[in-house]
Amino acid sequence: MEKPDAAGRGSTFPVQTRAIVRYRPGMRNFTCACGSTVYFENTSCLNCGRPLGFVPEAGLLTSFDDAPGALESEKLALHPRLNRQSYRYCRNHTESDTCNWMVPSEQPADYCLSCRLNETIPNLDDPRRVQLWYEVEKAKRRTIFTLLALGLPISSKADGPKGLSFKILSDRRLDADVHATDERASTGHLNGTITISLAEADSSLREEMRERLNEGYRTLLGHVRHEMGHYYWFLLIDGRSALTDFRSLFGDERSNYADSLEAHYESGPPADWQRRHVSAYASSHPWEDFAETWAHYMHIIDTLETASDSDLRFQGKALGRPTHDFDPELDLGISNPPTDFSWVLDDWFTLSQGMNLLNRSMGLGDAYPFALSATAQLKLGFIHRLVAAQPPLGH
């Protein structure tokens, strides 16, 4: 049995719709007040023991001190940029230890920006499902971190008809003996609601599905990024000026979706799919082409930003920041491709080849087992311009 309204849906407090500033995407090494390196999912510093939490409005993981004379739940942020502002943990931290994001103390919301988007979560009486749900939430928070860093709008269903919500559903494939009533859940998107099957958080089941579908790459983070691609098509392209350019690159989305997917699963992708698409599945329908390309765009941007922040060098070459020159006035016209994305791809080819070689040295599969054709690169450039053209907060 699922738990509806797990994030206090229906609260009058809105989800933050945009980051205050465009902070840098990419998983960075954060620092505790004691000087120790801490990481995105950490809830306490291993060196000094201070509690840690992520402040999404600022894009910062920071350590905290208890607020003197205040409620026990209130904590003072120690990062210099946060000026000892008061925060409290998301309710999903205090109740199930599945979240480390913070809520400003002056706000009435019980849940953080990410958890307030949840419409349905799994049954929390089963410890295994709690752990798998935590894995889904980690992937969701990493995705939202990057989306906020890119300045993309995130709003809840309570804020309007094009808001975002998540249904994280159990699946009978997990353990039919314990929860025989669970149905087989499918991951997907419909009108702003993203459904994630909990089975995708089980590494054995996910690998089984990857082999059955003959996929070179299948990750939980990739699934969340893909479904977010569907959502941002719905939000930023459907019925808007970018639709004409989308159709000229990706195709006409008005072609029958169900028939296209059925044909893909029955007959497989076209023999020359690599000439036009980032993956075989992307060839099934223009919507899937966009969602797959969006996921790859997020892979590329996030990984390059992480490498740049870590000052990694490959072949003696420093890696630049792919979002350093975002301009709200960029033209979306695909007839005049900007030059700013070509160097991003150049750096990506350098980095991904190095990553693949490192993985092979460890006996692992390639980290990025894809080849990007000229057409696929144009599609990635379209998404780069679409993202860059979003107005900053308050515009």
Q: Bridge partners of 102?
A: 89
Q: Return d(Cα 144, Cα 323) in angstroms, integer.
A: 16
Cα dihedral across residues 67, 8, 181, 135: positive or negative: negative
pTM attached to this predicted model: 0.87
> Does residue 147 sit in the same domain as residue 287?
no
Strands (E), the chain: 3-4, 30-31, 37-38, 52-55, 60-66, 75-77, 86-89, 102-104, 118-121, 165-169, 188-190, 193-197, 313-314, 317-318
Burial class (CB in 10 A: 0-12, 13-18, 19+), 377: middle
> Does residue 97 sit in the same domain as residue 156?
yes
Is there a domain that residue 232 lies in?
no
Rank 1-10, 95-104, 147-156, 178-187 by mean pLDDT and report only the highest: 95-104
pLDDT band at 287 (very low <50, low <70, confident <90, very high): very high
In total, how many domains does the chain have? 2
pLDDT at position 155 over 60? yes
pLDDT value of position 322? 65
> Does residue 245 sit in the same domain as residue 353?
yes
Lowest average pLDDT, out of 111-125, 167-181, 323-337, 342-356, goes to: 323-337
What is the domain extent for residue 372? 237-388
Query: Which tens digits make up the pLDDT trace of 205-217?
Result: 888 888 888 788 8
pLDDT value of position 85? 93
Is there a domain that residue 169 lies in?
yes
In this prediction, residues 288-317 reach a mean pLDDT of 89
> Does residue 198 sit in the same domain as residue 148?
yes
* DSSP characters over 356-377: HHHHHHTT---SS-----HHHH
> Does residue 170 sit in the same domain as residue 268?
no
> Does residue 21 sit in the same domain as residue 80?
yes
Is there a domain that residue 219 lies in?
no
Query: Which tens digits make up the pLDDT trace of 261-281?
Result: 999 999 999 999 999 999 999
pLDDT value of position 328? 40
Residue written as tokens 């990750």?
Answer: 219
> Does residue 26 sit in the same domain as residue 175?
yes
Q: Is 65 in a helix, a strand, or coil?
A: strand
DSSP letter (8 states) at residue 183:
P
> Does residue 108 sit in the same domain as residue 246?
no
**Cβ–Cβ under 8 Å, residues 28 and 303:** no
> Does residue 61 sit in the same domain as residue 120?
yes
> Does residue 54 sit in the same domain as residue 199?
yes
Q: Return d(Cα 219, Cα 226) in angstroms, integer.
A: 10
pLDDT at position 320 over 70? no
Cα dihedral across residues 56, 58, 59, 60: positive or negative: negative
